[in-house]
A and B are shown apart, each in its own frame.
Chain A
């Protein structure tokens, strides 16, 4: 009961308030006038940048979900082998995750611009630089975290099963793909869920690394919503409408992904 109350007050009410605001024109949340679905029409009009941001975000998410998970898994495999200094390396790889996004964004901005300056350009020169810069940044930050989850998963895989597979004549590769990975599916579920939603909702890193440059070409959804809300007078409602659409997209994608990977999990 108290939990329901807290849920109502701190989640459901603000959410409904936000939903209501997306159908209004307002300056501050106190005085709003109803405009129907006008905000949604504007949000999807060509010059609002929302569609571009959506395409860019989807591309970014696909690339980084795959790269983060593959690399994190390989690192986890490596760091569950009996090597010297394993704990030290685990800590080192996990560290970037503890640094705030804005700081990371600025650090990488300096690093990437430093490298690109040898070619006489900088990160604002082309949207591709911004895109790959964001991918590198995302990998650098998320790999350590995902690696820890995979390590935990790997350590709980039943050694007996793998040994049994080897006795049955399975190669290392076969044992990996047919025994280890299937019993790791719960870790895969949680890791893809985290990387997927985090990539979709990326904001700080985007703001600090490219700020959307060149033009608005590297603006992701969250940054586009922020710019719409604060950058244009009278567009606050449109920003709100975009935020609602954003919520629907993130929720749908995340639920779909959970359903798909869950169905691949096996009971041992």
Chain B
């Protein structure tokens, strides 16, 4: 027995030691680039890319994917191991603050040179630390077939006669409220899909919708987003937020008190099955709409409009931006860093790489190596591109990358749920949000 335990202990130690030594002995092995992917839905495509990359260049790429909502924790765990990723993703200035010690300055890299607009880069005075790789947009997605049906009703009261004419909150409200009265005629259960407020499923409201009042407040007060000034936020447009949020709640498929159990997938399914006419989400949601069995929405009828909330409606476009920045790990050896940059350049500039990006990953990219034709083929991506190029409207950037912390967002989300359930007053929600912003910013 005693001998056995000695043997076991030695075996254990041995396996630990060999684990450590493997790397030192492997001088002849070529550099392997590890990439920690953020998007679980793209995992299989990245694996194909890795195979193709090895075939074309003979270099090895290992793609690992973090499960949904666990990127930060996976990255934290991986960084401390020998299998740390050479390429990882940071989600903007807040993410950079956390991972400063690992982000390489990419201002001299080839990949930086092909980014179309410098404003998209994740920059500080010291250099460029993150390369945006996908541009996404969100707004109110609507099913034009149902809208046409409504506008064709002989006895409708509103003067508006097509969804294109909706260009302000007041018009949106007018149309939505009349549609709710006529929902039987339209064959829908509500105008808007469920306002999913289950913890962890509330990002469409606590992050995306909140982006709009935050953006306009900082713009009005001339706040420099790169400075400490952002730790003061007064939620000046709280009433505007309430207006649109109430509209979502009161004209929904689901009773407000039941929203704490709804997830984003439920909302997208309701839209896909034609139970509702509108849902707030982004172009990434199209794959979800498409995959629902018994889908009743035609691709050409899926359209998107800006989220009007009565702040600056006439100039408002979709919310378009990026929260995904690729960074190269500067704690790796020189050769691996170089190999990582080479891979990124290959992915976004070579013919093969570009084909996978547009067709497989379905990204609208911010790189000048992509031509007009090389954009993804889904209807929502096309809507985003067309809104981006539309004359006379300003896109709202993704300023939510400067939101203080995940805790701030979670608290705001649960406050919204309590407001929807009627257990919290809006004034309290506003006060707590302002207070939370301050305390989570470290004030």
Contact = CB atoms under 8 A, between A and B. Distances in A.
Where chain B touches its partner, the secondary structure class is helix
Contacts of A47: 439
Interface string A222-247: 00000101111110100000000000
Interface stretch (B212-220, B230-238, B256-264, B391-399): B256-264
B194 to A, nearest CB: 12
Nearest to B100: A27
Given A212-B199, A234-B98, A2 B6 contact: yes
A121 B421 contact: yes
B258 A121 contact: yes
Given A121-B258, A231-B410, A3 B423 contact: no
Task: Give chain A's interface residue range (CB within 8 Å of chain B).
Answer: 35 or more
Nearest to B6: A2
Contacts of B99: 27
B9 A215 contact: no
A86 to B, nearest CB: 38
B101 A230 contact: no
B198 interface: yes
B420 to A, nearest CB: 10
B199 A2 contact: no
A216 B9 CA distance: 44
Interface stretch (A28-36, A90-98, A249-257): A28-36
B15 interface: no
A144 interface: no
Contacts of B29: none
B20 to A, nearest CB: 13
Nearest to A45: B439
Interface string B374-414: 00000000000000000000000000000001110011001
Interface in B15-70: 16
Interface stretch (B73-81, B295-303, B342-350): B73-81
A124 B8 CA distance: 49
B406 A230 contact: yes
B226 interface: no
A230 B99 CA distance: 13
B258 A120 contact: yes
B101 to A, nearest CB: 6
Given A2-B8, A213-B414, A123 B260 contact: yes
A266 interface: no
Interface string A9-45: 1000000000000000001111100000000000000
A72 B406 CA distance: 41
A123 B423 contact: no
B257 A120 contact: yes
B5 A2 contact: yes
Contacts of A213: 199, 260, 414, 417
A76 to B, nearest CB: 35
B5 to A, nearest CB: 5
Contacts of B407: 227, 231-232
Nearest to B10: A2
Given A230-B406, A231-B405, A117 B258 contact: yes
B258 to A, nearest CB: 6
B220 to A, nearest CB: 27
Contacts of B94: 233
B423 to A, nearest CB: 7
Interface of A: 1-3, 5-6, 9, 27-31, 47, 109, 113, 117, 120-126, 210-216, 227, 229-234, 236
30 contacts: A2-B5, A2-B6, A9-B13, A27-B101, A47-B439, A117-B261, A120-B258, A122-B257, A122-B258, A122-B260, A123-B260, A124-B417, A125-B257, A125-B260, A125-B421, A126-B423, A211-B198, A211-B199, A213-B260, A214-B414, A214-B417, A215-B411, A215-B415, A215-B418, A216-B411, A230-B76, A231-B407, A232-B406, A233-B94, A236-B76
A-B pairs, 8 with minimum CB distance: A124-B260, A2-B9, A211-B199, A231-B406, A28-B79, A28-B80, A122-B260, A122-B261
Interface of B: 5-6, 8-10, 12-13, 16, 72-73, 76, 79-80, 94-95, 97-99, 101-102, 197-200, 255, 257-258, 260-261, 405-407, 410-411, 414-415, 417-418, 421, 423, 439-440, 442
Given A1-B6, A2-B5, A27-B79, 8 more contacts: A5-B9, A109-B261, A120-B257, A122-B261, A212-B199, A213-B414, A213-B417, A216-B414
